[in-house]
Structures are given as structure tokens and as C-alpha cells.
Amino acid sequence: MKRRVLIAAVCGAVLWCLGARAQPAKVWRIGFLRAARPPQRELDAFLQALSDKGFIQARNFVLVEQWGDGNVSRLPELAAELVNKKVDIVVTEGTILVRAVAAASSTVPIVTASAADPFMGGLIKNLSRPGGNVTGFASMERDISGKVFEIIKEMVPGLQRIAVLSARSIWGLFAPGQDQAAKSLGVEYSFVEMQRPEEVGSAMREALARGAQGIVIRGSPFFSSTQRRLIIDSAAEHRLPTIYERRDDAEQGGLVSYAPDIQDQYRATAEYVVRILGGASPGELPIQQPTKFDLIINLKTARALGLNVSPALLASASEVIE
């Protein structure tokens, strides 16, 4: 009798172990929301960093993508759709997108790869311990306005007037820093609204009509690849020296770009995703500031515009495109 009980117990244990092994591994659903599809190199940096941590796409996670067309008014709708797809976490970029997802869910963890406002419009009270379901990385866009204006002023002799091209919905994020930068550098600047692709040419013409000698592009995450290409081409057509936020824009013919290394921040974002899916609370992970900035100068474009870039500025560049 005891022998039969022992055998039954052993068999039961074996069957339980086999059943446990047969249980499928967790497949995480990582949501990715942006106003426009990210440049491929940024997406690749994010996915590679996940892979380095053992998160392999289509094996133990799926990427649930939600790309907008640059239309900011659609963001609440896109955020709600993503949350309704039962994602385990949402990765995004930009303060407005963070707020859209936070409005759709107060429980789904949100990690932003970059945000001009580190306090996310009041969602975060403390950078070291943000609390709630939001964390990620700031871009310091407000704080680097002075450097952006300084670079374009140094590249354009006698520059006195700057036009800042941006979507109206995000203008308020940059205005305070730009007001201070313009005052300290003794230049004037004006805001020119640009949202849809068909508005690029008219925006450039408006900038010229206002006497702009240089252009600053703000809010790149909200511009589609089509818009960004049109901006570069239009700047060349109107011979307007322009500074961008994405290194891709300088590599594709834009004059110069200056901003935090967004690829580096997407890699860091992947690390936060892994930690949160491993059980860490987003509210306990500090909002981090960028540590690496890229200055990319397209010397070929500078020559086409008749600009002589100073040796000091060239020496400070992360990359010079010949």
C-alpha cells in the first residue's frame, strides 16, 4: 500500500513538473506611441538594447506600434487605442504624448525617451522619485535654447533675426528658454507655425518676409519624415541657414543639428523598460537628464550657402560632414 502511494506521489510530481514546463513563457506587449514614425536608427537602437538584455522581438515580446501622422489632435485617440490593446508598458517621446497616455491610463507604466519638460506638465513632482506611472528621460530643450541660438548666430555673420518653426501645440514648451536666450545674445526671434506638410513652403516664405536670417526647427518628434525632408529642401531653396534637432537632418543635407544624443536615450529607455517589466516601479525610477550632446555640421551645405564655419565651431563638432 505504501509502495503504491509513493509511486503515485512520484508520478504526480513528475506530471506536475512536465505541466509546468509546458506552460508558455510570458510574451510582453510593449506599446510604442509617437506623433510620427521615429527615424529607423532610433528604433534600431531601442530594439538592440532590448535584445542585449534578453528581450527578443517576436520571442518574448511584441512591439505594439502606434504612429501618428504629425497631427497632434489625434494623440489622445491614438493613446487610448494603445491602452485598449492591453499593453504592459508604453514607450513614447515628448511631453504632450506622455500626457496623452497618462490621460488614457493611470496604471500602465509610461517611459519617455525624451521630453522638453522634465516635469511632464505637472505629472511629476519630484525628479528623483517621480511617483505615479511615468518616468524616463528629459531632453533639456528649454535649457539648450541658448546654445542653439548661439550656434546659428556664430554660423551666420551679422545675424539679428531668427524664425523658430514649430507646431503651435508645443510652442509653449520652448518659449521661456528662447526668450532668455534671445535677450542674452541680442537677437530677435519670431514664431512661425508649421504643422502639415503643405505648410512647409509657406512657413519658409513667411520667415523670409519677417526678415529671418536663420531658422531654428523645434519639435522634431511631431514631424513626419516627409515634413522633415520638405523642410531641408525648402531651406536650401530659400537659402535659409537652419539648425535642426535630429542628426539625421544634418546628414540628409541640413546645415547643422544640435541636441542630446537621442539614440543614446533610446538605449537607456530600453533599460528602464526591462527594469519595469522585471518588477521595478516607474515611480521609483528617477527622471534622467541627457549626458551626451551631438553637434553635427554639414560643411557641404555650409559652402553651398556661402558660409565659412569657424575653426572653433568645427573643432567642437561631434561630426563634420564633408
At residue 112, φ and ψ (nearest 5 deg) are -100, 135
- Fold identical between 28-140+262-292 and 145-260+294-321? yes
pLDDT of residue 36: 85
Per residue in 93-114, pLDDT tens?
Answer: 988 899 999 999 999 999 999 9
145-260+294-321 is classed in which CATH architecture? 3-Layer(aba) Sandwich (3.40)
Is residue 243 exposed (0-12), middle (13-18) or buried (19+ Cβ within 10 Å)?
buried
Per-residue pLDDT band for 24 (boundaries 50, 70, 90) equals: low
Domain spans in the chain, listed from the N-terminal domain onward? 28-140+262-292, 145-260+294-321
- pLDDT of 22 strictly over 70: no
Per residue in 105-142, pLDDT tens?
Answer: 999 999 999 988 888 888 998 999 999 999 999 887 66
- pLDDT of 18 strictly over 50: no
pLDDT of residue 35: 86
Averaged pLDDT of the chain: 88
pLDDT (average), residues 157-167 = 91
Per-residue pLDDT band for 201 (boundaries 50, 70, 90) equals: confident
pLDDT of residue 72: 76
- pLDDT of 210 strictly over 70: yes
pLDDT (average), residues 290-309 = 94
DSSP 275-308: HHHTT--GGGSPPBPP--EEEEEEHHHHHHTT--
CATH entry, 28-140+262-292, from 3.90.550.10, 3.50.50.60, 2.160.20.10, 3.40.50.2300: 3.40.50.2300
pTM, two decimal places: 0.85
pLDDT of residue 294: 93
Rounded CA-CA distance 158/213 in Å is 9
Report which of 118, 144, 128, 113 is spatially closest to residue 293, judged by C-alpha positions: 144
Q: How far is CA 142 from CA 126, 172, 175, 239, 244, in A?
A: 18, 10, 8, 27, 15
DSSP state of 87: -
Per-residue pLDDT band for 158 (boundaries 50, 70, 90) equals: very high
Partnered with residue 216 across adjacent β-strands are: 164, 243
Per-residue pLDDT band for 23 (boundaries 50, 70, 90) equals: low
Please state the separation of Cα 94 from the chain's center in Å: 6
